[in-house]
Amino acid sequence: MNYKLLEYLSGYLTPKRLELFDKALNMRTKHLTIVLEDIYQKQNASAVLRTCDCFGIQDVHIIEDRNEFQVNREIAMGASKWLSLHKYNNAENNSIEVIQGLKKQGYRIVATTPHTDDQELQDFDIAKGKTALVFGSELPGITETIMQEADEFLKIPMYGFTESFNISVSAAIILHHLTLKMRASNDLGWQLSDDEKAELKMEWIRKTFKRSELLEKRFYEENKE
């Protein structure tokens, strides 16, 4: 990480913009992450991205088996610009690739679906460690692969005739509840490290300027040894 370059590029932002970046970075987290498995309703999927940004979730893992993930810009409201979107579409079983990768990073895999061993949202223990929440398409739900690989199952209690919320509503309810519990804890270490904040800030600054590479070229020309 080139901190001198970061300081140089930061000088081209207004104080108000820098303050906004720093405020968002201080509330960003990778303690919770979202996995979207083969979503085909781009309106609902885009709403999930907007929800993730609003609640400070940085990483979204997108599995594309049969359906290409598409962002509806009017619904996402630019949220995808500030998130780290990881797409998986090259493996024979993309779900396995994602789940195994997240487990190696220390995430517990929590499938959001009614299940015989599920737990209700209010009983979920966020203190057990980093959590990857998996959401599937509304009609088929999560695949059997996720069902087999999940460490836990989570559901939102409902009291009406309808069997489920749509995916965007489910994500909003779950993230609202869990991020409140997360930020209320003093022991989770949910915030980004200083290096992670710096790398993300650099990424955001580069996305802010149309030709950021020209500014970086100028920086290196002015700092030749």
Report the CATH number at residue 115.
Answer: 3.40.1280.10
Q: Is residue 214 part of a domain?
A: no
List for the chain the helix, strand, coil content (%; round to 5): 50, 15, 35
Measure Cα distances from 127 to 60, 131, 160, 179, 187 in Å: 21, 10, 31, 12, 8
Q: Is residue 44 part of a domain?
A: yes
Q: Is residue 58 part of a domain?
A: yes
Distance of CA 192 to the CA centre of its chain: 13
The per-residue pLDDT for 61 is: 95
CA angle (22, 28, 32) in 5-degree steps? 175
What is the C-alpha separation between 141 and 150, in angstroms, rounded? 14
Q: Is residue 22 part of a domain?
A: no
Q: Is residue 141 part of a domain?
A: yes
Q: Is residue 180 part of a domain?
A: yes
pTM value surpassing 0.85: yes
What is the C-alpha separation between 128 and 108, in angstroms, rounded? 9
The answer to whether the CB of 32 falls within 8 A of the CB of 131 is yes
The answer to whether the CB of 91 falls within 8 A of the CB of 134 is no
Measure Cα distances from 212 to 2, 20, 82, 222 in Å: 15, 19, 16, 16
Per-residue pLDDT of the chain (225 residues; tens, 9 = 90+): 899 999 999 999 999 999 999 999 999 999 999 999 888 777 888 889 999 999 999 999 998 877 777 776 655 557 888 999 999 988 778 889 999 999 999 999 999 876 666 889 999 999 999 999 999 876 667 888 888 999 999 989 888 888 778 889 999 999 999 999 999 988 889 999 999 999 999 999 999 988 889 999 998 988 876
Q: Does 142 count as an annotated binding residue? A: no
What is the C-alpha separation between 177 and 124, in angstroms, rounded? 10
Q: Is residue 83 part of a domain?
A: yes
What is the C-alpha separation between 197 and 21, in angstroms, rounded? 10
The per-residue pLDDT for 137 is: 76
Q: Does 112 count as an annotated binding residue? A: yes
The answer to whether the CB of 57 falls within 8 A of the CB of 157 is no
Q: Is residue 133 part of a domain?
A: yes
Per the structure, the complete domain to which residue 163 belongs is given by 30-190
Domains identified in the chain, total number = 1
Residues 6+ away with beta carbon under 8 Å from 78: none
